[in-house]
Amino acid sequence: MPGKIIVAIDGPSGAGKSTVSKRLADELGYVYIDTGAMYRAIGWKAVKLGVLPKEGPELAALCANTEVRLGLVDGEPKVYVDGEDVTGLIRTPEMSMTASAVSAQPSVRARLLELQRDMGRGGGVVLEGRDIGTVVFPDAGIKFFLVADVAERARRRYEELKAKGVDVDLAKTLEEVEKRDYDDSSRGIAPLVKADDALVVDTTKMTIDEVVAFMKERVEEAAKP
Ligand code: DC
């Protein structure tokens, strides 16, 4: 009987992390933890309270006084801020940029790091984000780094937003994806970078089924006693 390990999935936006991580967790009977949603949740509250997404006593106080919780309802991941369901509100292009801005601030990272470690410590979890394999769980049982061509990642993000009824423009989406890549990779703390021991999966030309099947096999191998 294989043990339940920690699966770390990192990579830039649009590489397929969310779709693949959710499916992988389902198939393995693991808990899915979307750490990006946690940064979005803090960003959402900052906007609501008019707190700038820049370091300072206000942002630090907000982090200390905010309850961010991830849940699952009928198989669908939910995000709660102080008990309020914000799942549908945190996926806009504006919230992506705000999440990226708050995620560069030390007080936000420190608070969410603590929460993420508490949530994942026992194993049997799939965590997706930017710094899971490098900072949150450097000793994870297996690490993946998902990548895809930037044009393909922008196209996916565009289709995803369009399907949700958001008014989007492909050129602008590409610009935003490129800016977020740059900001997330160049920040001072916990930047987006591949862990030395992460397995790179280029999803540009792969179907979701192919990516999930490949990763599941690797996890099952890694979980063997
Ligand atoms: O995965 P996402 O697009 O929902 O993430 C939103 C932002 O949060 C992303 O631009 C960078 C930040 N983030 C992070 O800094 N560290 C993580 N582990 C996850 C997300």
What is the domain-level CATH number for residue 140?
3.40.50.300
Most ligand 1 atoms within 8 A of CB, residue of 100, 156, 161 to mutate: 100
How many Å apart are CA 6 and CA 90, to the nearest integer? 26
Residue 188: inside a domain, yes or no? Answer: yes
Which residues surround ligand 1 with Cβ inside 6 Å?
13, 35-37, 39-40, 96, 99-100, 103, 129-131, 180, 184
CA of 220 to the centre of ligand 1 (A): 27
What pLDDT sits at residue 150?
A: 96
Residue 1: inside a domain, yes or no? Answer: no
This prediction's pTM: 0.95
> Domain count of the chain?
1
Contact 87, 49 (CB under 8 A): no
- What is the identity of the amino acid at 99? A
Residue 23: inside a domain, yes or no? Answer: yes
What pLDDT sits at residue 89?
A: 96
Most ligand 1 atoms within 8 A of CB, residue of 20, 22, 39 to mutate: 39
Ligand 1: atom nearest CA of 116 is 18
Residue 94: inside a domain, yes or no? Answer: yes
Residue 87: inside a domain, yes or no? Answer: yes
DSSP state of 56: S
DSSP state of 136: I
Name the residue range of residue 11's domain.
6-222
Residue 90: inside a domain, yes or no? Answer: yes
CA of 2 to the centre of ligand 1 (A): 31
Ligand 1: atom nearest CA of 17 is 1
**Which residues, in sequence order, are CB contacts of 212 under 8 Å at separation 6+?**
20, 23, 24, 27
Residues of the chain with pLDDT under 50: none
Contacts of 16-23 with CB under 8 Å at 24 or more apart are: 16/146, 16/148, 16/156, 16/203, 16/208, 16/211, 17/128, 17/129, 17/146, 18/128, 19/208, 20/146, 20/203, 20/208, 20/211, 20/212, 20/215, 21/126, 21/127, 21/128, 22/77, 23/208, 23/212
CA angle 41/47/50 to nearest 5° reads 140
Residue 91: inside a domain, yes or no? Answer: yes
CA of 39 to the centre of ligand 1 (A): 6
What pLDDT sits at residue 2?
A: 67
What pLDDT sits at residue 170?
A: 96
